[in-house]
Every structure is written in C-alpha cells, then in structure tokens.
Structure 1
Amino acid sequence: MDLKGKKVLVTGAEGFIGSHLTERLINLGAEVTALVQYNSFNNWGWIDTFDKNIKNSINVVSGDIREYDGMKKIIRGQEVVFHLAALIAIPYSYLSPMAYVRTNVEGTTNVLEACREYNIQKVIHTSTSETYGTALYVPIDEKHPMQGQSPYSASKIGADKIAESFYKSFNMPVVTLRPFNTYGPRQSARAVIPTIISQILSGKKEIKLGSLTPTRDFNYVKDTAEAFVKVAESDNTIGEVINAGSNYEITIGDTVKKIINIIGKDVKILCDDQRIRPENSEVNRLWADNTKIKQLTNWLPQYSIDRGLEETVNWIKNNLQYFKTDMYNV
C-alpha cells in the first residue's frame, strides 16, 4: 500500500509517538486527519509545536474514542486508521484501573466497530511490550504468553484480543503493532529516560528513580514511527501481531550511566519508593525478537541507543520548561 494521497486518521495524534507518526505521514504525502482528545482549551498537544507548514497540512479534529457516535463521524471517509489513542501511564493504572478499561478496551472497540462499518482498507492497532510481562524466555517473540502484571497491561491485552477478534470474526484488515520501550523528544517525565535527563539538566545533584535492575529494549521514537509506516505499507501484515524492537537489552542502571556520561555531570541516584512498582507487577526483563517485522516489512532500527540518547538529551535541554522536575509524574 502506498500511503501517498491516502486519507489517513491517526488517533492519539497529539501524543508522544502519535505526533511523530503524524509528521512522518505528512512528509510521505498522506492526507492526515489527526484526532486529539477534546478539551475546553482547544489544546492540540505536541501538534501545537509543529512547523507552521506541517500544521497547516493536517486536519485536526477533537473527540474521544470512548464515544462511539463521534468516532463514526470522524472515521467516515477515511481509508487507513492508525489507532494510538490510549491511557498509557502504568502508575496511574493502579489508581484508576476502570479508566484504562473504558479507554483502552471500550475505546478500541468503538474505533474498530466504526472502521468495520465504513470498510476501512487497513487498521493499525497499537499494542505494547508490557502485554508480555516479565520475559519467560528471551528474546521475546510474538508467541510469548501475555501476562497482565498491571491494570494497564491487562487493558492492552484486552484491546489486543478485541482487535484479533475483529480480524477473525469479521475478516477486518487489522494488524497489531507491539512497540517495545519507545523514547525520544516529546516524551513526558512519566517515563524513565526523560525523568533521568530532566532531573539532571535541572541541576539536581541527586536523582530519584525506581528499580535499576529491570532491563528494557529501548527504541528511538523515529524508528517506532517508521515501524508503523512499514507495517501499514506491507501487504503481508494483515491479521498479524508484530513486535517493533531493537533486539538490544540494557538495564535501567546502565541506561542511567550512559545518560550521565552524555550530560557530563556527577549525580547520586536515590531509590524513591513511590516510583517502585508492586513486587508482582514489576516487569523485570524485556528484550524483543524483531525477526518477524524484518521479514514482513524490511524495517530495521536506524538509531543506536547512544545516538538516540544524545538527540533526546539535546531536545530536553532546549525544552526543559515542559518538565516539572520537583514532582513525581505518574
């Protein structure tokens, strides 16, 4: 599928990954409608920071995936839908699990049902590596069991199964993309890498973190956005669940050391109890097997962890005003 000239909807377009994907689609020549969550301030999230020419090329609409009638109106006339809208913060899911069910499970059902009604040519549903839970074996391929180790991951498992059911029950052209730990410009301080960087750049001599021993498979956001594009373009991906990961494993502790080395400041690391997940909820190891996406789409990550971290540090350095480093962001 050639996305140039296609009428494309991106849900969650105002967010971290969604905003990068939206920019990429505009550069490819797609006719992009960006769904942002309705708010009385008419705030478009990161889209508000776009270059004027790019922003003027986007049809921005406000709505809520939890409201089916509204989704029908927005999806009508589209050809391809990238569904990224979700509640994603794991700590907040402990406080309000039902909100995650309503947004991630019911909201995804609304999107898929509207896509089915209007015969959308392809739907790319966004999953997460958190659905795997702590690795039972590594590297983690798409056959790895799913484990609901947090209300967030459980809600995403539910959403993934809804997407699977629409493919199997209604022969809908759905593909599920499962990104591993994405990082980069525009990510909020709820995630570990911007938390580390923003605390150090704000001048703190001591930085507060949760556990340092878990491993992650970090992916630079431009690589993740490109994975969405490649999965959409490929004719071999419908009905598939596909990992998007670097096949590179690193501990949180070693990630901290890399960031400290890039910034060049001495800091002390403190363990903050409120940043530690409940014992049985911590995902101790994530390491992606990316064989499938390479075979189906020829996608390969272009950014090493060192290059990606350098670009992220530089962006946060120039945008530190977006980070509230004196408080814990859930």
Structure 2
Amino acid sequence: MTRKVLVTGADGFIGSHLVESLLDNGYEVKPFCFYNSSGSWGWLEELCDEKSKELDVFLGDIRDPVCVKEAMKGCDMVFHLAALIGIPYSYIAARSYIETNIIGTLNVLEAAKDLGVSKIIHTSTSETYGTAQSVPINEKHPLSGQSPYSASKIGADQIALSFWHSFNIPVTVIRPFNTFGPRQSNRAVIPTIISQIASGAKKIELGSLSPTRDFTYVLDTCSAYIAIANSNKVTGKVINAASNFEISIGDTASLIASLMQSKVDLCTDSKRIRPINSEVNRLYGDNSLIKDLTDWQPKFSGKNGFNNGLKKTIEWFQKPYNLSKYKHNIYSI
C-alpha cells in the first residue's frame, strides 16, 4: 500500500484514531489539522514518536478553498472528517456550522474535482436521521434536521452526493453512529460520565436519561472507514457504521458506574437538556449494508462488545495525565 491519503479533521477524536489506523494499514497519511498559532496537532500530539515521524501534517482551515486545494495536492484519496460537531453550540452559532460543515465540504469536493482524486469518503452522522421512525435505522430512513448541527450535516451530505450525480466524483458517505472511546470530548455523554466518576464525583450531572443510542467503539468506526476505502462497491452510496446495539443514556451511566465500582446518583441538569423538539429520542442503526458491501465486522458489538469498549475507554480516562485534560466540573457546550 503506497497510496497517499488526506485526512481532514485529523487533530480531532475520530480523526486522530483514523490516522493511526491508516498508518497501521500501510497508508501514507497527510493529516489536515486546524491552523493555530501554537502549531498544535491536537490529539495527534499523543501519537508515539515513531508514528509522528511518518506524518506529513498540514495546518490549515477547511473553510478556505485555496488552503484545502493546496493540502490535497499529491493525495489519491480523501477522508473528510473536519466539522463542527457539538450540538448545543450549534444552537448558539448556527452560521459557524454552515460555514464549516457545508462550505468546508464544498471546498473539499471542488478541490477533489480539480485534482482528480480517486475516492472521497465524506463523514455524516446518525443525527441526520433524527428520532427513529422505524428501527433498526437503515440508509433509506428519512432525514430530519432536529438541530442546526444535524441540518448542516444533511446539507453537507447532499452536496457531497450531488457531486457524484453531477460530475461523477467518486464520493461515499459514511454515517457513523455515536462513536465513543479515548480522546473524545467531554461534550459527549460517555466522557462526561467517566470523567466525573474518575474525578470522585458521586452526583453525576447529565441531560435526558431516557434517549437511546447505538454506541460504536472508535476502533470499529475506523475499521469501517478503511473497509469502505478498500471496497469498489461503495461509490455514490450512504453507508451506516453502527454497532446494531441500543442502550439508554441512563442505563449507560449505570453500567459505567458499575464497571468503575462506584455508587453514584444520576441527576438531570437543565442546562444539558436539548430543546424538546430537538432531542433525538432513539438511535438504533442497521449495519447490514456495510457488511454486504465490504468485509467490515465490528469487534465491539452487542452488550459484551460495548462493555469491552467502555473498559478500554475507562482505562484511558483513569490515567492522571489524560484525566487532567478534562474539566469534569464545568459544563462546556
């Protein structure tokens, strides 16, 4: 494997894990990280020196078309993950989500069109489905923009698919369900629970406890990307990456507390509750299509797989160096 690939959003949670997985699978990787004055590579800073030396890191801004095109030069394939993803912040800064998620995606597509990239894997989200109207949710499920974030991702997905229909640009849309694991932001519920318990809290503050989610461990999500990259059957398609397992937020919190051998009280914090019509009450994904089109099989599926993924995540968060990066006592949107 000698193909050089661009990974946008490589400095983030999923992006940094995907960079590692790609390196392990023999790819030459060019990570696109958000420009900052300190020159930080985000979570890529945590990679071992041996892997870091293999990277051709590019600092830029996905909203700048010239910057995106320059980053893409010499790359055969693009994994497009760069996005604003925090749902609560999208209620406050909706325009930023349009500019980053939709215009940023357009920049990637136009650059790929001009440069003749062989494959683009564009990242969607299960939030585009909204509350499940039928389960398990397959790729034909209606889309529903229940937050500015999800609406921006629907727009980005449709722009991506339009370049396939209009210009024959080889686009595939991967739609991950509720990815979790080490390095994830405290804006997500599993790190919120773990970091509070690991810091000694006995009263765990959460939003709504009744919604269900289909949690997918980050290494399964990364292997889904690579399976799609290696398949010649996926162009022009939307493909779920789901564990095909459903659990409520409340039960997830109780399970984590049990694994961490901690007795806690679960409390609903009004600041963490979404507007009533914006809450996605049920997500439970169908992963049969990706299994049909690729060789992907999740290693952390079902309750046992979920437990194993949680154990790995807890182990990472419990290391003092890692936990110190999280402000467990502050609700940051």
Separation (CA, whole Å) in 2 of partners of 1:191 and 1:118: 36
User: Is 1:322 paired with 2:325?
Assistant: yes
TM-score, with structure 2 as normaliser: 0.98
Separation (CA, whole Å) in 2 of partners of 1:312 and 1:165: 37
Pick aligned residue for 2:228 from 231, 246, 257: 231
Question: Who is 2:265 aligned against?
Answer: 268
Separation (CA, whole Å) in 2 of partners of 1:322 and 1:237: 38
Question: Who is 1:32 aligned against?
Answer: 29
Separation (CA, whole Å) in 2 of partners of 1:270 and 1:73: 48
Question: Secondary structure at 1:47's aligned position in 2?
Answer: helix
Separation (CA, whole Å) in 1 of partners of 2:62 and 2:160: 15
Once the two structures are TM-superposed, the CA of residue 298 in structure 1 deviates from its matched residue by 2.2
Question: Who is 1:306 aligned against?
Answer: 307
Question: Who is 1:290 aligned against?
Answer: 287
Q: Which runs of 5+ in 2 are unaligned?
A: none
Question: Who is 2:250 aligned against?
Answer: 253
Once the two structures are TM-superposed, the CA of residue 300 in structure 1 deviates from its matched residue by 1.3
Question: Who is 2:53 aligned against?
Answer: 56
Separation (CA, whole Å) in 1 of partners of 2:25 and 2:260: 34
Question: Secondary structure at 1:176's aligned position in 2?
Answer: strand
Question: Secondary structure at 2:226's aligned position in 1?
Answer: helix
Once the two structures are TM-superposed, the CA of residue 322 in structure 1 deviates from its matched residue by 1.1
Question: Secondary structure at 1:59's aligned position in 2?
Answer: coil
Deviations 1:179-227 (A, max 9, x none): 0000000001000000000001101110100000000000000000000
User: Is 1:100 paired with 2:100?
Assistant: no
Question: Who is 1:122 aligned against?
Answer: 119
Question: Secondary structure at 1:207's aligned position in 2?
Answer: strand
One-letter identity of the residue aligned with 2:183 = R
Question: Secondary structure at 2:140's aligned position in 1?
Answer: coil
Question: Who is 1:167 aligned against?
Answer: 164
Deviations 1:9-53 (A, max 9, x none): 000001000001000111111111000000001111011111000
Q: Which moved more, 1:26-35 or 1:94-103?
A: 26-35
Pick aligned residue for 1:131 from 124, 128, 131: 128
Question: Who is 1:88 aligned against?
Answer: 85
User: Is 1:141 paired with 2:142?
Assistant: no
Separation (CA, whole Å) in 1 of partners of 2:332 and 2:316: 19
Q: Which runs of 5+ in 1 are unaligned?
A: none
Deviations 1:289-326 (A, max 9, x none): 00100000021110110000000000000111111011
Q: Give the 4+ runs in structure 1 shifted more than 3 A.
A: none
One-letter identity of the residue aligned with 1:325 = H
Separation (CA, whole Å) in 2 of partners of 1:77 and 1:197: 41
Separation (CA, whole Å) in 1 of partners of 2:277 and 2:299: 34
User: Is 1:43 paired with 2:40?
Assistant: yes
Separation (CA, whole Å) in 2 of partners of 1:280 and 1:164: 28
Question: Secondary structure at 1:256's aligned position in 2?
Answer: helix
Question: Secondary structure at 2:33's aligned position in 1?
Answer: strand
Deviations 1:250-309 (A, max 9, x none): 001110111011000111111100100000000000000001000000211101100000
Separation (CA, whole Å) in 1 of partners of 2:2 and 2:245: 35
Separation (CA, whole Å) in 2 of partners of 1:5 and 1:24: 15
Question: Who is 1:156 aligned against?
Answer: 153
Once the two structures are TM-superposed, the CA of residue 165 in structure 1 deviates from its matched residue by 0.3
Separation (CA, whole Å) in 2 of partners of 1:194 and 1:107: 27
Deviations 1:111-156 (A, max 9, x none): 0100000000000000000000000000000000000000000000
Separation (CA, whole Å) in 2 of partners of 1:248 and 1:298: 19
Once the two structures are TM-superposed, the CA of residue 329 in structure 1 deviates from its matched residue by 2.0
Pick aligned residue for 2:241 from 241, 244, 251: 244
Question: Secondary structure at 2:318's aligned position in 1?
Answer: helix
Question: Who is 2:74 aligned against?
Answer: 77
Q: How many residues align?
A: 327
Supply the RMSD in Å over aligned alpha carbons: 0.5
